[in-house]
Structure 1
């Protein structure tokens, strides 16, 4: 019997002036553990007149995780943070009761050709922490736990698993693991996983129970404890998951919450522009409902 419960394919989505591959949420699977949203950015080659420009927009009830393979993004937020993220580093922004941020190509790259490739992920907060104070945390590449077993390079981007712990300050039991193979290998790590679990194939392919799966797919496991598969040479995958919350989460635009009231309050705040502002930013992304009214 197959341990694969669901296969999710990337779907194209526009985030302003930049196309991404959306993986979560999906109509048949809204979340995996606390993971509520995953976008695969690129790989995109931008010429000297093309830049990433996502103006200020708000979040509540979640933490965002940005992890780049290529390129660079300048993050600015309403806490006064101004942080460039480069490949191999992690930006972890916790919205809590509310934060506003922008994401743009850094000034020194705006007039040159550049690449952008990475993952953007939302992790929902537990109900008791939904309205916590917002915060921002940056992790340099050399602080991320890395090790090698059987010609597979492991990196623990967030959470705690396999006897390792990432410095990213997560707020519920979860894991986000990167695995890179240089040779064909069998991976058996189910005994260490917990909660709901999924596998995302960035490049290469894996084989499970006689079936071959390729890039831009998420495989949702029926039982994380049965997680065994074969990685072909030169494959990169991400295994993520964790304990699901007892309550459902509502996702509206950039807001994640356990109640409609929190969502409606955030919508009203953005419509009246009473969220804290980002220093130096004047543009903002309108609420989707306002966009429709203006047309």
Structure 2
């Protein structure tokens, strides 16, 4: 069975000129396992005059996971990474002690109509790794474990589950699984997932304990485990979670840490522009939000 503790609805949030659906953090549920932040981007139609332009901004204390359903994003960062991500691929950027990155529509698409749709996720690092060196890994679609059970198709986006392991180099016990089906089917995850669990319905619906749930809802498991549910026809869901981190995590803008002093230092370093620059984008800069306040 799947006993639901909480239902979190997407909340519209504006990031620059782009609207997203925020899932985490939530007032009554700040994290699920080490997952500290989840935004659902789109689906948004962009005209030939509109482009995604998230300019240079910093992170500490976390890894970011970008997973697209449609569209394309050009990633650049301060350690020299420059790579386009396409649907079904994973960008895994670990900020550690500090990194700066930008996310933009690729140059060859900027004069064309396009669609952007995907997930942006932050995973908090264990305390002993919060100050690690920053890194970036891109994992191609064909390098993610994919399999079928009954009528459902599974993709292991990150972590370990079902005796499989994703190529994404995570730093604590966690999992993120895509499950799709064109037909109504029962999905059983019993004894496969440890720690806290959440189930995000992207498309279609889920039936659990006789109740129906629809798209853009995040279901949080009461027993920290999702055992069994019915996936409606033409549905896509994402099951994620893992072992909770021992210490509380604080979030200030793009900074995540178990130590508020590290956040204060990062904030001051960013305001004083002491972070490393992105090659070729040295003059681009998103100010710390409080500088806009009157």
The bucket for the TM-score relative to the shorter chain is over 0.9
Q: Which residue of 2 aligns with 1:152?
A: 152
Bigger shift: residues 279-288 or 100-109: 279-288
**CA-to-aligned-CA distance 1:97-142 (integer Å, 9 cap, x gap):** 0000000000100011000000000000000000000000000111
Q: Which residue of 1 aligns with 2:221?
A: 221
Between the aligned partners of 1:37 and 1:271, the Cα distance in structure 2 is: 23
Bigger shift: residues 144-153 or 278-287: 278-287
Bigger shift: residues 48-57 or 219-228: 219-228
Tell me, what secondary structure is at the counterpart of 2:191? helix
Aligned pairs (5 A) from 1:1-295: 3-281=3-281, 282-292=283-293, 295=294
8 Å Cα contact 1:221/1:227 also seen in 2: no
Cα 1:10–1:225 shift into 2, 3 Å: closer
Between the aligned partners of 1:150 and 1:98, the Cα distance in structure 2 is: 44
8 Å Cα contact 1:190/1:224 also seen in 2: no
Between the aligned partners of 1:166 and 1:207, the Cα distance in structure 2 is: 28
**CA-to-aligned-CA distance 1:187-228 (integer Å, 9 cap, x gap):** 111311100000000000000111100000100001144521
TM-score normalised by the chain length of structure 1: 0.98
Between the aligned partners of 2:220 and 2:275, the Cα distance in structure 1 is: 36
Work out the number of aligned pairs and report it.
293
8 Å Cα contact 2:64/2:120 also seen in 1: yes
State the Cα distance separating 1:182 from its structure 2 match.
Answer: 1.6
8 Å Cα contact 2:197/2:226 also seen in 1: no
Between the aligned partners of 1:110 and 1:269, the Cα distance in structure 2 is: 32
Cα 1:75–1:226 shift into 2, 3 Å: closer
Unaligned runs of 5+ in 1: none
8 Å Cα contact 1:69/1:88 also seen in 2: yes
8 Å Cα contact 1:74/1:84 also seen in 2: yes
Bigger shift: residues 138-147 or 186-195: 186-195
TM-score normalised by the chain length of structure 2: 0.98
8 Å Cα contact 1:155/1:179 also seen in 2: yes
Unaligned runs of 5+ in 2: none
